Amino acid sequence: MSTNMNRRDFIKVAGMGAGSLAFATPLFDFSKGEILAPDTVPGMYAKRTPTYCEICFWKCAGWVHTNDEGKIWKLTGHEDDPHSNGRLCPRGTGGVGMYNDEDRLKTPLIRTEVGGVQTFREASWDEAFTYIADGLKKVGEEHGPECTALFSHGSGGKYFGDLLKAFGSNNITAPSYAQCRGPREVGFFATYGEGVGSPERVDIRDTRCLVLIGSHFGENMHNGPVQEIAQATAKGASIITVDPRFSTVASKSKFWLPIKPATDMALLLAWMHVIINEGLYDKDYVEKYAYGFDDLKAHVATMTPEWAYGLTTIKPEIIRETAREMANASPRVIIHPGRHVTWYGDDTQRLRAVAMLNALLGSWGRRGGYYNPEKVKFKNYPHPPFPKPTRTWRDAFPGKYKLAGLSLASGICDATIPTIERDCSFKAWIVNGTNLIHTLPNQANTIKAIQALDLMVVVDTMPMEITGYADVILPECTYLERYDNIRVSPHREPTLALRMPAAEPKYNTKPAWWMAKGIAEKMGLGHFFPWNDIEEKLDWELKQVGSSLEEMKRLGVKKMDRSYDDLYPMENLEDFEFNTNTGKIELYSTAMEDEGYDPLPKYKAHEEPPEGYYRLIYGRAPMHTFSRTANNPNLTDLMDENSVWVNPKVAKEWDLKNDQYLWLENQDGVVSKTPIKVRVTERIRFDSVYIVHGFGHTNKKLTRAHGRGASDADLITRVHIDPEMGGTGMRGNFVTFRFEAGEEVSS
Amino acid sequence: MRYAMAVDTLRCVGCSDCVVACQTENDVPIGHCRDWIVEKTTGTYPELQLEIRSERCNHCANAPCVRTCPTEASHYAEGGIVLVEESECIGCKACITSCPYDARFIHPEGYVDKCTFCIHRVEKGQNPACVSVCPTHAMIFGDLDDPNSDISRAMATRKWKSLIPEAGTDPKVFYLI
């Protein structure tokens, strides 16, 4: 147990083989996939098995094709799936690489000490479960079960969540909220009484004008919007892209507004000024549904395009022209809410402004704007009621982040570091499918929190950096080798999708449901998992909604009918009561006011890069998802390192050449752990640099990813916290160039 | 029957799905590819244009690879698809040198490999793998001799170009611009 060890040394996880530890009996019957006629490769008989993708969180449904030897051959999209429309993105198509990756975690590992050196030893599942059960129970007895937390960014997290709830903790968190989309949910909720959700309820397919603020679809390969943008533009829709970088989608846009970073709020306010003052707003819609229009009008009265020009560097006539472009398309216009929106710390307010601009143009609840999604009303397999925890993570932050709708990954991390005034501190973490070292900002802080734990369990498929800090590592099989919960997602029409194993788990790996149930049984909590196996659970749940496991194995995706014909509930100004204090769309937010926040969004000047420094902007590449795909053989083959985008003027000043390697150093003197290649390009402003997130891995056991490119997470040491909901604004970091490595960092 | 492909540069986002789909469909070894993405930026900030293309063997009607192949391993198949008969290929690389599009490579097993337009799929009436997966429907495959085919219609209604026309190869991959 780690209590014998004062400090958690990072251990590079070896890919230990463990054939001898494998269970003798297979967990699944693999003969139940659909047998097809001879498929596309001559002489090859193939079977196809339904799945939904785990490489990103769009969760496209598809088919896993296996050959006659049972080897997984390829993945294709499911024709009936509204997420993929039969076509996966490169990551989904390349998902087979996750299965084939020989660097995968292969057997349970437990931290031990040999001759004063910490290392991992191979363990049996039974031993690992006993270790975890004892560790959790000890934390429960000494500090209370509320001092345990789950960080999850994977489907299997659902089962570990149930384990923690059964134990008595509700501290279940995902970095997708406070590090990503949280501010948008809060901003839209404050305005419409509903969030945006995932998949986003944007009706891009039928829009006439799409406004993207920092969203870089095409590089962000969320499949639905990328497909629908292509459809909409083919039908003549225009795109307005606001981005300091000439992104792929900027190149497809009618207008590219290369905004000075951190000034988006000024542009949004000026757009509202033009739309109100030129009378371009949807008057009937605003009159019927909106609350606080006169307050907003007064609020933006002085926020002219000329005012915004001085802040954004976008010319007044362009601000006016783009505002009119949106108004001409109204109500079939979308000012897109984005997804990763934790930028500057006033993100909830910026997303409020986005929500309000949509309201002025009457796009919410309208065709070509925002549709009303529906999902299947799904009932989970019955279990005894979970105990009610007496404390939650919120107790660690009295009076703060009052509008946070979900728990904060960064908040739980911060609250784990002991302080005198904090009585809710965390002693055990389960980390499922999220590499917190790269995911959370401020790595030093994350590592400090980990050092304060009595127990850390990491569940992953790959030896990501986070595994090096674990006490116990549980190797999960990939999504192609396991069942998970039924995908029940909101969309234009409700659908169900099944993920089932297409092959037996490689090595000694297991699915999360099996692990969570096994640990629960060790802890005397087995009655919270009252099913014998996952097939029994899924079949019961599916039968409640008129399907069955057998049917879903055949169909993969089942489309259901909508309960009501209300896809566009405000299309013809129908009566509607919004879930807000006033029952209206709140341009003036009474909820914000009640909690002591600004009821109308204000422009706030953000810090600018010091002389010789450039704002660090990060984003995505179409073939990778965060850091999780960086070792995937198929996807790494497409892109195996990132580069730092530098404007030619900057390159000239620093005498930088294409493909030259250098290090980045931030405003706090932190240097990237690994060097990065220079890409000199006109496609970026001269006050910013850009890198793709997810590279710069330091664990040598990720043989393809190790040392390739640099990590933005290394350099995000300054975080601006969103006061409304605790989001971590990460775009306030500045870097300069350095031509030699920083001091050796032990990782 | 004249098979051809059109790549819509206005739709293509350069995601590389075509590359990985080809790799898995045809078991192309990691480290090699039969198709690839080219991005070309022109202009000066902030007046910029970006053209993105998914490229592959052009299945030329006047193919230098077929002309230079000493063993006739490189040959025209049905519909003008240019193929390499693995068993006839001696790996001399004459075709690789002669191809103006750099579309060929030596497979680790010793023969020359390249795009086949997924003839094994086309023969069954399916699209090539790259076309079938493209999330933005940026690729069209079909028969130029059929005036009602999607590709014939796209070529008739859209502006298009082919690559290195001065090489006189009569390529059968076109780019809608």
Euclidean distance between CA atoms A152 and B1, whole angstroms: 54
> Distance between CA atoms of B106 and B32, rounded to whole angstroms?
9
Q: Do B41 and A252 touch (CB under 8 A)?
A: no
Q: What is the pLDDT of residue A52?
A: 98
Q: List phi, psi (to 5°) of A730.
A: -115, 5
Q: Are the Cβ atoms of B120 and A634 closer than 8 angstroms?
A: no
Give the helix ranges, DSSP H, for A452-548: 512-522, 534-544
Instruction: Choose among B20, B41, B46: nearest Cβ to A90.
Output: B20
CA distance A53 to chain B (A): 15
Percent of the residues in chain A that have a pLDDT greater than 90, as a whole number? 88
Q: Checking DSSP bridges between strand A238-242 and strand A255-257, what pairing results, if any?
A: parallel
> Residue A746: is it exposed, middle or buried by C-beta count within 10 angstroms (0-12/13-18/19+)?
exposed
pLDDT at A344: 97
Sign for the CA dihedral angle at A726, A731, A736, A737 comes to: positive
HSE, side-chain direction, 13 A CA sphere, residue A496: 28
pLDDT at site A496: 98
pLDDT score recorded for residue A11: 73
Q: What is the predicted pLDDT for the residue at A45?
A: 54
| Contacts for A540 with CB less than 8 Å, ≥ 6 apart | A381, A531
Chain B residues closer than 8 Å to A633 by CB: 30
Inter-chain residue contact B13 with A683, CB threshold 8 Å: no
Instruction: Sort out which chain B residues have CB atoms less than 8 A from A635's CB and list them.
Output: 20
Residue A18 predicted with pLDDT over 90: no
Q: How far is B16 from chain A (nearest CA, A)?
A: 6
- Enumerate residues 596 to 625 of chain A having a beta carbon within 8 A of any beta carbon in chain B: 622-623
Exposure string of B52-68, with b = 16+ CB inside 10 Å and e = fewer, is: bbbbbbbbbeebbbbeb
In tens, the pLDDT along A372-393 reads 999 999 999 999 999 999 988 8
Task: Answer whether residue A350 shows pLDDT above 90.
Answer: yes
Domain covering A198-372+570-594 assigned CATH 3.40.50.720 in the classification: no
pLDDT, average across residues A468-485 = 98
Whole-number pLDDT of residue A477 = 98
ipTM metric: 0.96
Domain with CATH 2.40.40.20 in chain A: 614-738
Q: Is A519 on the interface with B (CB under 8 A)?
A: no
Segment A317-349, tens digit of pLDDT: 999 999 999 999 999 999 999 999 999 999 999
A220: nearest CA partner in chain B: B15
Nearest to B41 among A219, A230, A682 (CB): A682
Pairing of strands A720-721, B112-113: unpaired
Mean pLDDT to the nearest integer, B102-119: 97
Strand ranges, E, within A323-375: 333-335
Q: Summarize pLDDT for A660-702 with one digit per residue, the tens.
A: 999 999 999 999 999 999 999 999 999 999 999 999 999 999 9
B23 and A634 in contact by Cβ < 8 A?
yes
Residue A43 reports pLDDT greater than 90:
no
pLDDT band at A423 (very low <50, low <70, confident <90, very high): low
Q: Give dist(CA A461, CA A105) in Å, integer.
A: 6
- The answer to whether the Cβ–Cβ distance between A90 and B45 falls below 8 Å is no
Of the residues A36, A39, A40, A313, the best mutation for testing chain B's interface (the one with the most B CB atoms within 10 Å of its CB) is A40
Q: How do strand A585-586 and strand A290-291 relate by DSSP bridges?
A: parallel
Residue A7: predicted pLDDT: 58
pLDDT at A421 exceeding the cut of 90: no
Torsion, CA B138, CA B144, CA B149, CA B151, rounded to 10: 20
Instruction: Give ranges for CATH 3.40.228.10 in chain A.
Output: 198-372+570-594
pLDDT in tens, A390-401: 988 888 888 899
Residues 6+ apart with CB under 8 A from B119: B77, B78, B81, B83
Q: Is residue A518 predicted with pLDDT exceeding 90? A: yes
Q: Give SS3 for B8.
A: strand
pLDDT at residue B47 tops 50: yes
Q: In terms of residues, how long is chain B?
A: 177
Rounded to a whole number, what is the largest CA-CA distance in chain A? Answer: 77
Average pLDDT estimate for A626-652: 96
Spatial contact of A182 and A461, defined as CB atoms under 8 Å apart: no
| 3-class secondary structure, A565 | coil
> Which CATH architecture group holds A2-22+104-176+386-559?
3-Layer(aba) Sandwich (3.40)
Largest CA distance in chain B: 53
* CATH 3.40.50.740 domain position(s) in chain A: 2-22+104-176+386-559
CA dihedral A321, A327, A329, A334 (to 10 degrees): 100
Structure tokens at A346: 């006033």
Report pLDDT for A744: 59
pLDDT digits (tens, 9 = 90+) for A218-270: 999 999 999 999 999 999 999 999 999 999 999 999 999 999 999 999 999 99
Does residue A77 sit at the B interface (CB-CB below 8 Å)?
yes
Going from the N-terminus, what domains does chain B have, and what CATH number goes with each? 3-176 (3.30.70.20)
Query: Which of A445, A443, A718 has the alpha carbon at shortest distance from A607?
Result: A718
* Token pair listed for A370: 């925002």
Q: In the predicted model, is pLDDT for residue A96 greater than 70? A: yes
Query: Cβ contact (<8 Å) for B120 and A42?
Result: yes
What was the pLDDT predicted at A36?
Answer: 44
Q: What is the dihedral of CA B76, B81, B87, B89, to 10 degrees?
A: 70
Contact A252 B10 (CB under 8 A): yes
Q: Is the dihedral of CA B9, B13, B14, B16 positive or negative?
A: negative
Which residue, A57, A54, A56, A50, is CA-closest to A81? A50
A145 CB-side CA count, 13 A: 18
Q: Which residues of B touch A233 (CB under 8 A)?
A: 10-11
CATH class held by domain A614-738:
mainly beta
Cα separation, A428 vs A458, in Å, equals: 11
- Tell me the shortest Cα–Cα distance from B37 to chain A, in angstroms: 10
Q: Under an 8 A CB cutoff, do A218 and B15 touch?
A: yes
Q: Which residues of B touch A219 (CB under 8 A)?
A: 13
| Distance, CA of A556 to chain centre | 24
Phi and psi at A90, nearest 5°, equal -60, -30
Name the minimum distance, in Å, from the CA of B93 to any CA of chain A: 24
pLDDT score, position A398: 86
